[in-house]
């Protein structure tokens, strides 16, 4: 029986023709944002921010992780209404924006890139998180069964609490929430790294070709 072998040089040339082999440590062009490697730190809510303001401890936490190609910040509320957890640093007051600058101005000089994950949590929130105790809002008035928020319990202690049935938003209120997202994504908010618009359909995979997409408003960024 005759056996045939592919010699090492020809296998090498076949692979070169068919694939571009990349490693985690190769650079990546994320729609104009140059990443030094392909390691991305996922957003992780920590609930460590006194008064919901990112402080020096949070700056240290992110700076210690700045060797990642990209850090995505913990979910960062765009408004009090959009907050699910106590001690979650938001991006809607002057103090919060100044607080996030401590992080960005500490991460960027050591070569780190950080995007803000801006969020509005909808109905998975709790009246105890708001100064005026109003209801969370959503597209419907259905209670989110099985979900938890982190607010104040009946004895006033921080803890996991069940979200109540929310107030259903009026259609005209959506514009306000869209504006709050836009405001939080504006370049002056905390000096986060920026990139062109990334949506689910345009999100690149590590081997996807470079896209020439048109510049849009930053989404994860400010």
Residues forming contacts to ligand FMN in the complex (CB under 6 A) are 42-45, 74-75, 117
65-101 b/e with 16+ CB inside 10 Å = b? ebebbbbbbbbbbbbbbbbbbbbbbbbbeeebbebbb
Nearer to ligand FMN, 74 or 180 (CB): 74
Residue 12 or 46: which CB sits closer to ligand FMN? Answer: 46
Nearest approach in angstroms of CB 72 to ligand FMN is 8
Q: How far is the CB of 70 from ligand FMN (least distance, A)?
A: 13
- In whole angstroms, how close is the CB of 198 to ligand FMN at the nearest point? 14
Closest CB to ligand FMN among 165 and 204? 204
Buried b / exposed e along 1-23 (16+ C-beta atoms within 10 A): eeeeeeeeeeeeeeeeeeeeeee
Sign of the torsion formed by the C-alpha atoms of 108, 112, 113 and 115: negative
Nearer to ligand FMN, 167 or 181 (CB): 181
Q: Strand order of the sheet with strand 70-77?
A: 40-41, 70-77, 114-119
What's the min distance (Å) between Cβ of 170 and ligand FMN?
27
């Amino acid at each position: 029986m005759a056996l045939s072998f592919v010699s090492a040089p020809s296998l090498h040339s076949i692979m070169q023709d068919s694939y571009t082999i990349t490693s985690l440590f190769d650079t990546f062009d994320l729609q104009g944002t140059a990443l030094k490697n392909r390691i991305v730190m996922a957003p992780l809510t920590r609930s460590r921010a006194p008064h919901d303001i990112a402080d020096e401890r949070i700056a240290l936490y992110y700076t210690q992780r700045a060797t990642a190609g990209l850090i995505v910040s913990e979910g960062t509320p765009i408004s009090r209404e959009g907050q699910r957890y106590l001690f979650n640093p938001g991006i809607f007051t002057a103090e919060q924006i100044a607080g996030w600058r401590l992080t960005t101005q500490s991460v960027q000089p050591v070569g780190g890139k950080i995007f803000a994950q801006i969020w509005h949590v909808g109905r998975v929130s709790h009246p105890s998180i708001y100064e005026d105790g109003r209801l969370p809002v959503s597209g419907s008035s259905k209670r989110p069964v099985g979900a938890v928020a982190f607010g104040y319990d009946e004895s006033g202690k921080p803890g996991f609490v069940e979200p109540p049935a929310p107030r259903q938003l009026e259609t005209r209120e959506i514009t306000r929430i869209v504006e709050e997202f836009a405001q939080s994504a504006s370049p002056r908010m905390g000096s986060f790294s920026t990139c062109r618009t990334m949506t689910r359909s345009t999100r690149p995979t590590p081997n996807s070709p470079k896209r020439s997409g048109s510049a849009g408003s930053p989404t994860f960024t400010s």
